[in-house]
Structure formats: C-alpha cells, structure tokens
A and B are shown apart, each in its own frame.
Chain A
Amino acid sequence: MDFITSYSVRRTGAAIITMMAASVIIFAFIHLIPGDPMYVLLGDGATPDQVEALRHKMGLDRSIFIQYMAWLSNALQGDLGTSLFFQEPVLTIIVDGAETSLLLAAITMVWVVLIGIPIGMIAATRQGSAIDQTASGLAMLFASVPTFWVGLYLILIFAAWLGWLPSSGYPSIFYDEGGIANLRYLLLPSLALAAPNAALILRLTRASMLDVARQDYVRTARAKGIHPRQVTIRHIFRNALIAVVAAFGFTLAALISEAVVTETVFSLPGVGRLIVQSILRRDYPVIQGVMLVTVMLYLVINLAVDLINRMLDPRVELD
C-alpha cells in the first residue's frame, strides 16, 4: 500500500468517527430547539388531541435516545428517514436539491477560476498600474458587498430591466422541459455567489504571485535570460498556485454555507434553501439528513484538497 492510499484510509477512518460525533450533536441540538412540527403540519387551529395523535403516528412521542438509535440504525443502512412535512424519503429530497446545489457550485467555481486567477495574474504582473489598482479596488468592493445585495441587483438589471435571463427558480435539466437550456437559470445566482469568492481568489493569486516573484530562484531564472512569460508561468504562477488551490478547498466549502442566502434570493430548489425551510418547519429528519451529508461533503473536500496539494508539491507534509 503506497503512502497516499494508506493516508486516505486513515483519514476515512477518522472521518467516520467525526461523522458519528456530528450525528449525535446534530440530533441533540435539533431536538433542543423549541417548536413543534405537528403544529406546523396541522395549522393554527389544531387541538392538543390532534397534535398528540399525529405525534404518536410519526413516532415523535418516543424518548430522544430511542429516536436517535432508530435513526442511526436506518442511516447506516442508507435510509435517512421520511420527511415529516413532505412525507417523502429524505434521500430523494436531498438528491433532488443536490442537482441544483452541485451545478450552482460547479458553475460558480468556473466563474471564480475564470475571473479570479487571470485578473489576479495580470494585476500581479502589472503591480501599481491602473489595471492593478482597478482590479484590487473592485476585488475589495465585491469581497465586502453581501451576496444577497449583488443578487438582487443582478435580478433587477438582467431579469427585470433587460429581460435577458430568468429572475429566479431552476427547472431540472434532467426532468423538466427545457433540458440543458435550463442552466441559464443558474447564471445570475452563480455570478452573485462567485463575486466575493472570485474577489478572494484574485487577491490571493496577486499576493501569492508577488510573494513568489521575490524569491531567489525567480531572480536566478530571470538572470539566466529565460523569457519573462515563461518565468511568470512556470516559476511564479505554478508555485503561487499551491496557496490558491488550498484556498479553493475553503471556497468550495464556503459555497455550501453561502449558497443558503443565494438559493433563497434566487428561489433555487437547492439544499441550502431546503435546510433553512426545514429548520423553520422543524422537519427533523430532513435537517438531520442534510447536515450529515454536508459534514460528509466537508470531510471529502478537505481530504481531496490535501491530496491535490501533495501532488502539486511533494514537500507538503500530510501528517
């Protein structure tokens, strides 16, 4: 077994322990929140008898420990339970929401890479110029402005005024009319979500490149008469990329939490909005399921970033 494989196996073992601990914390905290899903389901006029009858039918009158053990046992077999609100399997609901969230994250990352890295490179190679100052200023602006604000203005300009793109919603590219053309529904939300993250990557690329450019080996490369473009790409950019890739891991993880706001503003049927609505409705099985999947996603992303960094730079210590 090579080092990377044995490292991955060890990290997976640790991840399982982390997920078990997270499941206990998630379960306990959700049930500590005051509020009653039965009233949400039955409405304002429900009588205590109706509430108790439904609570019994849904198994919510059992002790928290018994409920947890039942949930854990099912979860280990891949069954995350049934939504109290929708009466549908939690896994089906999450998978439906995941299509939106994963595509949104993917398109956002494309924007982040296309905007953040090239402009960061240009700003670094023209340090102090008007281009650098404009890029840095705009990056500072978009890093500071809240995502929902950017989102609302994008809707106003591109949907309400110009009518070029849809304002909100997202029909599935797999199941709904429109097919692949439905991706246009994700253009504005992905731009809104990309704005602060692209700004962050731009600033990081610029700073990292300027830092590497001051290293001795870059000076040596220049002294040897290597073409400036080759120095920039091979010696500066490639080494600066290590810090940028590490930041991509955080950015991707941050997208999961930032997507909550974006999905709400653009009314996207993603996992972010699902979790917010499920908390408001006290739909315990959905909250537990989404949180567990999110924790798993964080762990996988972290592992992937560590492994990629090691591949980019064998000097990186994994332990």
Chain B
Amino acid sequence: MKFLNLKTIALAATIFASGQVSAETILRYATISEPPSLDVQMGTASVASLISSHMFETLYAFDAKFAPQPLLVVSDKVADGGKTLILSLRKDVVFHNGQKMTAKDVAASLTRWGAHGSRGKVLLKTAKSIEVTGEYEVTIKLPEPNGAWRAMLAFPNGGPVIYPADIVTAAGSTPISKENYIGTGPYKFNDWRPNRYVELVKFDKYAASPMPASGLAGKREAIIDKLRFMPVPDVGTRTSGVQAGDYDYAEFIPGDLFDDLSKDSSVKIHLNGAPIFGLMFVNSKVGILKDNFKLRRAIQMALNKEEALRVSIGPEKLWSANGSFYSKGSAWYSEAGTEAFSQADPEGAKKLAKEAGYDGTPIKLLVSTNYQFHYDQAAVFTKHLAKAGINVQMVVVDWATLLKKRGQPDQWDIFFTHHGTVPDPALITAMNDSYPGWWNTPRKQALKAEFTGTADINKRIATWNKIQALIYEEVPAMKTGDVFSYNIASPKLKGMLEKSMFWPNFWGVSM
C-alpha cells in the first residue's frame, strides 16, 4: 500500500513536471496581440490576416515572385477592353461546413467586399454588375478597365476571401461572427478563447489547387494538426518562450536582440521578406501644410532617414534607407524622385522653408507610443527639423487615440503610421483619396486614372514612376525607410518558406 502510494505520488509528480503528452501536433504561435474580428474582408489588422489566411482563400494568390496566380479560379477571360472579367471557378472546392463552393458564393462575397470591404471599394464599388453567369462562372463588369484587378483579388489583407453566400449576405456591413467563420482553406476554425488563444484545426476535406506550390499560390497541404495563436504582448516572454520550448513561433522580435538570437541554437531567425515602412502623412485638408508643397519639401529635406533608421531599428540587416515604395527586384521598384528621400540638409531646408513663407508656426506631429519605431523616428526627426528652424510639436498618444484623432483634420499636421508591402501600388493608402491626409490634387487624379485605366504592365510601371515622382514633389506622405521585421521559430519546424511573404503561413510545414 505504501509502495503504491509512493508510486502514485511519483507518477503525479512526473505529470506535474512535464504536462501530458499528446500524439497530435500543435503549433503554438505567440502573437503580439489578440486579433479583432477574423472577418478579413472588413479589417486590415495583420494578426487577423495571419490567422485567417489559413482558413479563408481568395480567388487568386501570389506566387513566390508576387505574381497573382489562380487559386479558387481555373481560368479567366478579359473582354470589352478590360471592362468585363469572366472568372471560371474550380468545381472541387468545399467549404468547412461541407457545402460545395459555387458561383453564387463567389458573387455574394465579391458583392459584399465591393460594398463594405476595407479594400473592395477601390476595385468594385463602381462595378456595374457582379453576376452569376453559370454554376461555376462569375462575370464582373467594371465602368473602366483596372489593370490591378488580379492583384487586388489576390491580396488577402482586407481582401475578397470567399464565404458561403448565405453567411456573407446576412452579415452585410457588420463583421461576420465567429460561429460563421466558414472558409475553404486547409485549416478550419475550432475555438476562440478570449485572452488565451484562437485555434484552427486541419480541414480533412480540403481540396488543394492542382498547381505546384509557389509562394502562397498552388498546392496547400495541412500537415500539423492544430494551429494555436496565443496573444503574448510582452516581447521578452515571447522570446524566452520559444527558447524554452513553450512556443514554436514568435513574431515581432526587436532589432536589439537580433545578433544574440542569430547565435542561439534554440531558435531559428525567420525574416519577413516584404518590408514594412514608416509613412508620415501630411494634412492636405487644413492647416499650415495644406497646399504648401514647398514647405513640405523643406521638411523632407531636413530629415536624415538613415540616422533615424539606425537609432530606431539597430542592426543594418534589418533596415534599408530605400526611398522607393518597392524593394529592388520588384517590378514596381523605381528611383523616380528618390533623390529627395534623405537629404539631411538642415541649411537648405531652412532656406526653402523661408521661401515657402514659414513663420515658425508650430507643426503638430501626431505619433503613437504603441509602435516603438514610430516614436523613436519621430523624436529623431523633430531634432532634425529643429536644426532647420522648423518648430515641431510632437503629440504623443496611444494607437487607439491616434486612429481617432487622425480622422479629425484640425488635430494634426503630420501623423506617423506604417505600411506593409502591397502587391500593387493601387493598394498603397496614399492612393486612396479618402485616407487621412486626403491627398486629392488634380495631378494625382490624372495620373491615377492613367494608372488604373490600363492593364498593360509596362504602361502601368511607367505611370507609377510618374506617381512616385509626384509623391516626392507634392509630399502627401514621407516614406521613412524599409524595416525588415523578423520572427523566431523553433528549430523543429520544417518546410517553412525561407522568408515569409506578408506573414508566416504554416501549410506545408511539419514538426
């Protein structure tokens, strides 16, 4: 009896020390925050896109070279000079509720995205019709051709993911509730426990694209049984959690840990291939900078962006003082206007500001502390501008306050945000006339019409060069340089892309 008791105690102690062993594989991903709604048609939060990209699919997906390839469609036909798009759908796609995907679901999803989606209005708000023209065929009629349509239908962040028609129609302008997270992806929604985790499980009936895997396009195969996304806001905890084996992946690790973690055998560095970049939007609606392009150029002239990147990010591998809105190697890379990117010339700026009639009026720079690099760069820029005699007052708030205040034109002259790499320049927020900053000059409108009015890629690239040059001339927003964020992974994860494209994806990954 005594022996039995000792044995029981020993067994209990072993379980207590190690936890229970389970046969199924669970990937534990430490996210920086809890996601808002996972209805990505309606929101653009990165953490929501990361999770939902495993559950929901778009009609097209980007391959490793960022070219859109068919995913839920088989083929497409463009008619009427680019105004009519006929999409033929795959017939083998099944939703997580067992229902087959048909043209009705696709038309309903695109209709909602065009009417209420974060990015849908750019392409589909003025669409003449989105019609079911066959059980597996949808026809979209646009008032004008739009050369970026495939890229827009492929971009999952705030993108046109496909839901069953009844769900998406009932939801309308409100976010879809979690019991209706029904998609076509290799993982399906299982559970969301507030403050603890969002869990997805392998979808056994997933019908993969017949095309070979490349980037986000082609065949997707769920190998790991469960993906669990756990909010771990503290970066120290995320980092030591992967080192200790409590998490398998952790995102947004700061630059100052990069060198140490590169030498640490308990973790693998996973770089994000597509950089994010700081953007300082200038108020084009009211205030001292409203239409004073010369004063805006004076501000840009005073800034030393390289110094701000070094101070805010650290290791040189993690940043690039690149003035182009795209990285070298991208078809959209352009040097037009970039000589004005980082001149670090306070004397020249002082002279130009005087010519622009600047009288020392304080310029309100709205910045948040939630993103450390925003605040650090803004602090460095404020010093650069002081040297040029330009009086900047930093208005430091938290992110939720900034989102509210930036919609109130009288509250700021410049606000700091950041932007991810988007597959087509039409998706850059500065191109959106109603985005805070409200850049809407006649020259912009003319070039924008030229840019979206053709599907010819060479013509579009040529026009984008002109738009980028105009951005440096009218300065609706100031790019502050590329930042390559990085994540850390457990060495036991196999099969990940060498660098993530927009965010990490775990189909095709084993452990």
Binding site for B on A (CB under 8 A): 33-37, 39-48, 50-51, 53-54, 57, 83, 85-88, 93, 96-97, 152, 155-156, 159-160, 163-164, 166-169, 171, 177-178, 180-184, 264-267, 269-270, 273-274, 277, 280-282
Contact = CB atoms under 8 A, between A and B. Distances in A.
Given A43-B44, A184-B16, A169 B175 contact: no
Nearest to B407: A48
Nearest to B243: A160
B20 A181 contact: yes
9 contacts: A39-B407, A40-B36, A41-B36, A44-B44, A86-B194, A166-B19, A167-B241, A177-B22, A178-B20
A277 B232 contact: no
Given A86-B194, A277-B195, A43 B43 contact: yes
A281 to B, nearest CB: 7
Given A168-B241, A267-B234, A85 B246 contact: no
A125 B16 CA distance: 37
Given A36-B400, A47-B121, A96-B193, 16 more contacts: A35-B401, A43-B45, A50-B173, A85-B34, A86-B192, A87-B178, A93-B194, A155-B237, A167-B237, A184-B16, A264-B234, A267-B232, A269-B193, A269-B194, A269-B196, A274-B194
B241 to A, nearest CB: 5
A45 B44 contact: yes
B417 interface: yes
Nearest to B241: A167
Interface string B298-332: 00000000000000000000000000000000000
Given A34-B397, A43-B43, A85-B34, A266 B173 contact: no
Contact of A35 (B192, B231, B403, B417): B403
Contacts of A266: 237
Nearest to A276: B233
Contacts of B174: 53-54, 57
Nearest to B400: A35
B343 interface: no
Nearest to A171: B196
Residue from A47, A50, A168, A282 with most neighbouring chain B CB atoms (10 Å): A168
A86 B241 CA distance: 26
Contacts of A277: 33-34, 195, 231, 233
Given A97-B195, A155-B240, A264-B234, A43 B405 contact: no
B400 A39 contact: yes
B194 A83 contact: yes
A122 B323 CA distance: 68
Contact of B15 (A57, A152, A181): A181
Contacts, number: 170
B244 interface: yes
Contacts of A47: 121, 434
Interface string B155-178: 000100000000000000111011
A97 to B, nearest CB: 6
Nearest to A170: B196
Nearest to B408: A34
B16 A181 contact: yes
B195 A45 contact: no
Contact of A85 (B17, B36, B116, B434): B36
Interface residues of B, number: 60
Given A152-B236, A166-B244, A177-B22, A45 B119 contact: yes
Residue from B34, B246, B398, B401 with most neighbouring chain A CB atoms (10 Å): B246
A42 B118 contact: yes
A41 B43 CA distance: 7
B244 A159 contact: yes
A166 B246 CA distance: 6
Contacts of A93: 194-195
B17 A184 contact: yes
Contacts of B119: 45
A152 B240 CA distance: 9
B15 A281 contact: no
B340 to A, nearest CB: 26
Residue from B370, B403, B407, B435 with most neighbouring chain A CB atoms (10 Å): B403
Q: Which 9 A-B pairs have the closest CB atoms?
A: A35-B400, A39-B403, A43-B43, A43-B44, A269-B195, A159-B244, A36-B404, A45-B118, A35-B401
Nearest to A187: B16
Interface in B68-119: 116, 118-119
A61 to B, nearest CB: 14
A36 B173 CA distance: 18
A53 B195 contact: no
B42 interface: yes
B37 to A, nearest CB: 6
B155 to A, nearest CB: 12
Contacts of A169: 230, 232, 241, 246
Given A155-B237, A159-B244, A277-B233, A46 B43 contact: yes
A265 B37 CA distance: 25
A267 B403 CA distance: 26
Given A168-B241, A184-B17, A42 B42 contact: yes
B143 interface: no
Nearest to B22: A177
A167 B246 contact: yes
A37 B400 contact: yes
B160 to A, nearest CB: 14
B391 interface: no
Contacts of A41: 36-37, 43, 175
